[in-house]
């Protein structure tokens, strides 16, 4: 699944073609993705102007000129493609097509249909069932060592699992949690409660750093992920531990290990991470 840097990269890639432009023609080629699309979805989007485009956790949000918000989640394999002028004839998995008055066509493609789209009143966005319980943004000013420590206190789950809990911090995924824990020297098996305090103070900047570097590199390419521009992200060439089971740790030379936590692969160095 695309993680925060990938979603941020797609969001930034869509800004130029969409923000300040009117959606002159919107076509939906099916009634549902992961869940049913809103009633009259295409008709309600058509004619609207996108005033702002931004990200919350792994959701792409577009403020429209009628006060509603177009909300998108890419799911496991969702992609946004940008075409200058009219798009080629839609393929089997091209589900939503949007033409703009700026001469672009944006195509949402999703082979597995695990993505979603919704239309939400702007003044009720914070109440949406997928947004209302989200924790702070890891790149925002509201996320710091004190906030993370308070969220982790008393938690008996492993720190890896705790950081994937979207109520603790929004948008973190498997890849970048593995990377941040390595750069902080914290074992993914350590109980979350034991990370509160000084370890949390070290962990926050490590999370910010690994996310910022991944965004700067255009996100990571894993299976289906492609930027809105069609270019591949390439941060995966800089992974310290993720996907490197059996390879030598760049810090100590010991083989990177893999374990499964809550059904997800965790990669770490047992010598460097305690």
Of 22, 208, 217, 264, the catalytic one is 264
In whole angstroms, what separates CA 119 from the centre of its chain? Answer: 19
Domains of the chain, CATH where assigned? 4-127 (3.20.190.10), 145-268 (1.10.8.50)
- Could you tell me the two tokens for 114? 């695990």
Percentage with pLDDT > 70 across the chain: 95
The region that residue 236 occupies, defined by phi over 0 for left and psi between -120 and 50 for alpha, beta otherwise, is alpha
Which residues are paired to 68 by β-bridges?
A: 121
pLDDT tens, position by position, 94-113:
999 999 999 999 999 999 99
Among 111, 184, 113, residue whose Cα is nearest residue 148:
184
| Rounded Cα–Cα distance for residues 261 and 258 (Å) | 10
pLDDT tens, position by position, 194-253:
999 999 999 999 999 999 999 988 877 655 566 777 665 666 778 999 999 999 999 999
Torsion of CA 164, 165, 168, 170, to 10 degrees: 70
Query: What is the bridge-based pairing of β-strands 116-121 and 78-84?
Result: unpaired
Of 56, 58, 160, 257, the catalytic one is 58
pLDDT tens, position by position, 121-151:
999 999 999 999 999 999 999 999 999 999 9
| Rounded Cα–Cα distance for residues 256 and 268 (Å) | 6
Mean pLDDT of the chain: 93
Of 2, 17, 158, 188, the catalytic one is 2
Identify the three-state secondary structure at position 105.
strand
Q: What is the mean pLDDT of residues 18-30?
A: 97
Instruction: Based on the residue annotation, tell me whether 217 is a catalytic residue of this protein.
Output: no
The region that residue 237 occupies, defined by phi over 0 for left and psi between -120 and 50 for alpha, beta otherwise, is alpha
Which residues are paired to 158 by β-bridges?
A: 191
Q: What is the mean pLDDT of residues 170-198?
A: 97
What is the pLDDT at residue 77? Answer: 87
The region that residue 7 occupies, defined by phi over 0 for left and psi between -120 and 50 for alpha, beta otherwise, is alpha
Residue 193, CB-side half-sphere exposure with 13 Å CA sphere:
5
| Rounded Cα–Cα distance for residues 152 and 127 (Å) | 24
| Rounded Cα–Cα distance for residues 270 and 274 (Å) | 7
Instruction: Based on the residue annotation, tell me whether 3 is a catalytic residue of this protein.
Output: yes
Instruction: Based on the residue annotation, tell me whether 90 is a catalytic residue of this protein.
Output: no
pLDDT tens, position by position, 71-90:
999 998 899 999 988 778 99
Instruction: Based on the residue annotation, tell me whether 136 is a catalytic residue of this protein.
Output: no
Segments of the chain assigned E as strands: 23-28, 50-56, 59-64, 68-73, 78-84, 94-100, 104-110, 116-121, 257-261, 264-268
Of 3, 6, 8, 99, the catalytic one is 3
Torsion of CA 25, 30, 31, 36, to 10 degrees: -110
């Amino acid at each position: 699944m695309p993680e925060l840097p990938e979603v941020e990269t797609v969001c930034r890639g869509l800004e130029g073609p969409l923000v300040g432009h009117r959606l002159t023609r919107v076509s939906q080629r099916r009634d549902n993705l992961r869940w049913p699309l809103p009633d009259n979805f295409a008709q309600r989007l058509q004619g609207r102007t996108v005033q702002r485009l931004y990200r919350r956790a792994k959701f792409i949000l577009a403020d429209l000129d009628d006060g509603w918000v177009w909300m998108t989640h890419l799911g496991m394999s969702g992609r946004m493609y940008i075409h200058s002028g009219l798009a080629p004839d839609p393929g089997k998995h091209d589900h939503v097509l949007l033409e703009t008055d700026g001469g672009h066509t944006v195509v949402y493609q999703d082979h597995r249909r695990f993505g979603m789209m919704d239309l939400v009143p702007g003044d009720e966005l914070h109440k949406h069932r997928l947004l209302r319980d989200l924790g702070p943004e890891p790149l925002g000013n509201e996320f710091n060592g004190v906030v993370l420590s308070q969220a982790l206190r008393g938690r008996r789950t492993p720190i890896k699992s705790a950081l994937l809990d979207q109520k603790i911090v929004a948008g973190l995924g498997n890849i970048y949690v593995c990377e941040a824990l390595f750069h902080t020297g914290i074992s993914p098996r350590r109980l979350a409660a034991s990370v509160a305090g000084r370890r949390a103070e070290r962990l926050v900047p490590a999370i910010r750093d690994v996310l910022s570097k991944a965004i700067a590199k255009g996100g990571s390419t894993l299976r289906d992920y492609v930027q809105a521009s069609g270019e591949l992200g390439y941060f995966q060439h800089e992974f310290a531990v993720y996907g490197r089971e059996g390879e030598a740790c760049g810090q100590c030379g010991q083989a990177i290990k893999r374990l499964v936590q809550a059904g997800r692969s965790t990669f770490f160095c047992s010598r460097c991470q305690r």
